[in-house]
Chain A
Amino acid sequence: MNAPLLEIEDLRVSFPTPKGRVEVVRGLSLRLGRERLGIVGESGSGKSMTGRAILRLIRPPGRQRAARMVFDGIDLDAQSERQMRALRGARISMIMQDPKFSLNPVMTVGDQIAEALITHERLARRDVRARVIEMLHAVRIHEPERVLRLFPHEVSGGMGQRIMIAMMLIPRPDLLIADEPTSALDVSVQAQVLDLIDELVRDHGMGLILISHDLNLVARYCDRIMVMHGGEVVESCKAQDLHHASHPYTRGLLAAVPRMEETRDTLPVLDRSAWGGT
């Protein structure tokens, strides 16, 4: 990989509090090719803020700053808000956690997916419809003509999330950020949705950033993993080496997860004082 898709150096995100500004992401750096990167951490670790900062979606009074943030040769820091809007969705898109809150409740599924496409490309109406149906097929929705006319409350959680994926992938972005894409779904549907994201990412040669609190899930679907804690990357390794992780926080997290063949009488608990965590 000679030219990385995304390069970030020293990203910092801060929010004001009565006691002064608090940094929730403290000096994160990463290089991403057309590969699958997992960011893991617990609530408050700064993993979601990192995802949002890449799209420059940190709202005031929050502030983000980076020494360098380059996507495919474009300096994201130097883009105007208008230029960013042209990038978002078209070149970098993001799947959020819960389809119940991310889909527009008063717009049909078909119109929402079409909107994602029309915003970024000029196409004849017939072609738009063909692309939407093709995309719904790709996310394994069996009767696309029927589903097109449904409203979000008429579809299940798993189907809602597949519709979200369709909407995010239809402009054919180069980088997909998935922030806890399956935590609102049942286990059997989780696997289907992740397999689908995985397949589409591979077929289109995209880059993927998968953000999750679930270590084992990330290990299964990514090539590389970054473990975040307190706004910092405490460990970064290849997915298959996760179980040989060296940082006490990563090791503590891995040990705290109950296993299918559980025989331990008590689960080990993180000693948070060891690295000054909360």
Chain B
Amino acid sequence: MGWNMSAIVLKDLNISYGTTRVVHDVTLDVAEGESFALVGESGSGKSTILKAIAGLAPDWTGEITVLGQPRGHRVDRGFATTCQMVFQDPYGSLHPRRTVDAVLSEPLEVHGLGNRAARVVEMLAAVGLDQRFRFRFPHQLSGGQRQRVAIARALMLEPKVMLLDEPTSALDVSVQAEILNLLKKLRREQGLTYLMVTHNLPVVGFMCDRMALMNKGRVVEIAPATALHDGSFTDPYSRALYAASGGNPAREAQA
């Protein structure tokens, strides 16, 4: 595929919370337009990497570059227009007392952008939400609808890079399928780059081009998504994770 530029470059990235270092010497390169997964178990440091890129884990050393721009250690207004994050739990990530319309207009207000109503209407259509949801509160929406709102909010400033932190793990399987299809469609239509955290290998197979497998704060292997078809992993930890996630006796029958 014709990737020419790097969307995200991490070089010798070390991240700490207080005195505990949770991510060690991570170096990786995500091409523009690529969908890249960070895979690992709880505590492997995968979400922490997303937080550092987003500016939510400021205690890091090394280099973070997004679309050619070095990332500073703080929340950065200009950065918000190139890179946005979608969180795991749509029940926790939306303000309970703000309508969908208010949630989606806020990024535009903060950045002094006009034509807000028209953009909100357009975005609702893009994420597959009917216009009647525009003036509802989060508690009037289902989990899948809320996650659509969270994705819409992230896209309001037309970023090029999306950080996805387990975007479907709080959802039912049938809703998960809808959201994964939506993310795939948006990436195709808007030429987005995805860096996605997940512990679910089949989701990586559906959504991503490559993955980095993480264990105890280190990247143990970078593999193409096609490695999931034949299990061609080299690191023992990757193999163990693959075995624990697969081993589904019904799979042959299904195919």
Binding site for B on A (CB under 8 A): 42-43, 157, 186-188, 190-191, 213, 215-216, 219-220, 240, 242-243, 252-254, 256-262, 264-270
* Contact (A243, B42) CB under 8 Å given A262-B206, A264-B206: no
Beta-carbon nearest neighbor of A189 in chain B: B41
B228 at the interface (CB under 8 A from A): yes
Annotate B216-255 by CB proximity to A: 1 below 8 A, 0 otherwise.
Answer: 0000000000001100000000001100111111110111
Taking a contact as CB atoms under 8 Å apart, the answer to whether A258 and B184 are in contact is no
Report how far A230 CA is from B245 CA in the complex, Å.
Answer: 29
Taking a contact as CB atoms under 8 Å apart, the answer to whether B173 and A216 are in contact is no
B73 at the interface (CB under 8 A from A): no
* Contact (A188, B244) CB under 8 Å given A219-B250, A264-B206: yes
* Contact (A216, B248) CB under 8 Å given A269-B174, A269-B181: yes
Taking a contact as CB atoms under 8 Å apart, the answer to whether A258 and B206 are in contact is yes
B121 at the interface (CB under 8 A from A): no
Which residues of B have CB within 8 Å of A252? 174
For B254, give its contact among A186, A191, A254, A264 (CB under 8 Å). A254
Which residues of B have CB within 8 Å of A240? 250
Which residues of A have CB within 8 Å of B107? none
How many residue pairs bridge A and B at CB < 8 Å?
Answer: 92
- Chain B residues touching A, range: 35 or more
Beta-carbon nearest neighbor of B181 in chain A: A266
> Which of B3-11, B92-100, B196-204 contacts the other chain?
B196-204
B55 at the interface (CB under 8 A from A): no
Taking a contact as CB atoms under 8 Å apart, the answer to whether B199 and A186 are in contact is yes
B180 at the interface (CB under 8 A from A): yes
B177 at the interface (CB under 8 A from A): yes
Which residues of B have CB within 8 Å of A191? 244, 247
B178 at the interface (CB under 8 A from A): yes
Beta-carbon nearest neighbor of B240 in chain A: A188
Minimum-distance CB pairs A-B, first 9: A262-B205, A267-B177, A256-B177, A258-B202, A186-B41, A42-B172, A258-B206, A188-B244, A262-B206
Report how far A267 CA is from B174 CA in the complex, Å.
Answer: 9
Q: Which of A43, A215, A260, A265 has the most CB of B within 10 A?
A: A260
B82 at the interface (CB under 8 A from A): no
Binding site for A on B (CB under 8 A): 41-42, 143, 172-178, 180-181, 184, 199-203, 205-206, 228-229, 240-241, 244-251, 253-255
Report how far A215 CA is from B176 CA in the complex, Å.
Answer: 14
Report how far A5 CA is from B241 CA in the complex, Å.
Answer: 38
Beta-carbon nearest neighbor of B248 in chain A: A216
Which residues of A have CB within 8 Å of B240? 188
Taking a contact as CB atoms under 8 Å apart, the answer to whether B244 and A190 are in contact is yes
CB distance from B88 to the nearest CB of A (A): 14
Taking a contact as CB atoms under 8 Å apart, the answer to whether B177 and A259 are in contact is no
Beta-carbon nearest neighbor of B230 in chain A: A261
Report how far A220 CA is from B253 CA in the complex, Å.
Answer: 13
Task: Provide 15 A-B residue pairs closer than 8 Å at the C-beta atoms, listed in order of the A residue.
Answer: A42-B172, A42-B173, A43-B143, A157-B42, A187-B241, A216-B248, A253-B174, A259-B254, A260-B201, A260-B205, A260-B248, A261-B228, A262-B205, A267-B181, A270-B177
Beta-carbon nearest neighbor of B40 in chain A: A186
Which residues of B have CB within 8 Å of A261? 205, 228-229, 251, 255
Report how far A191 CA is from B178 CA in the complex, Å.
Answer: 27
Report how far A252 CA is from B174 CA in the complex, Å.
Answer: 8
Taking a contact as CB atoms under 8 Å apart, the answer to whether B254 and A256 are in contact is no
Report how far A178 CA is from B254 CA in the complex, Å.
Answer: 27
Report how far A260 CA is from B254 CA in the complex, Å.
Answer: 12
Taking a contact as CB atoms under 8 Å apart, the answer to whether A42 and B174 are in contact is yes
For A188, give its contact among B41, B177, B255 (CB under 8 Å). B41
Which residues of B have CB within 8 Å of A215? 173
* Contact (A258, B180) CB under 8 Å given A187-B241, A188-B244, A264-B206: yes
CB distance from B244 to the nearest CB of A (A): 4
Which residues of B have CB within 8 Å of A243? 250, 253-254
CB distance from B122 to the nearest CB of A (A): 23
CB distance from B91 to the nearest CB of A (A): 11
Beta-carbon nearest neighbor of A259 in chain B: B202
For B250, give its contact among A190, A213, A242, A270 (CB under 8 Å). A242
For A43, give its contact among B41, B172, B251 (CB under 8 Å). B172
CB distance from A234 to the nearest CB of B (A): 14
Taking a contact as CB atoms under 8 Å apart, the answer to whether A259 and B184 are in contact is no
For B205, give its contact among A254, A258, A266, A270 (CB under 8 Å). A258
CB distance from B207 to the nearest CB of A (A): 8
